[in-house]
Amino acid sequence: MSKERANKCIECTVTNCAHHCCDDDYCSLDSIKVGTHECDPTEDRCTDCLSFKMK
């Protein structure tokens, strides 16, 4: 993924994701979907990026 496509509105450190910008900690997508795997989320770790795609 090229740096030019880094979406500066979406910071991300998940380097295993195919949408991650290699050298920059940003997502390359125009938008993402966030969800949860919990029935009653109470902390940031309860949430997930549902746009994640394995490299």
List residues binding ligand SF4 (CB under 6 A).
Answer: 10, 12, 14, 17, 19-20, 27, 29, 32, 49, 51-52
State whether residue 31 is helix, strand or coil. Answer: coil
Q: How far is the CB of 3 from ligand SF4 (least distance, A)?
A: 13
Angle at 2 between CA 50 and CA 6, to 5 degrees: 55
Beta carbon nearer to ligand SF4, 5 or 51: 51
Closest CA to 11 of 20, 2, 54, 48: 20
Q: How far is the CB of 13 from ligand SF4 (least distance, A)?
A: 8
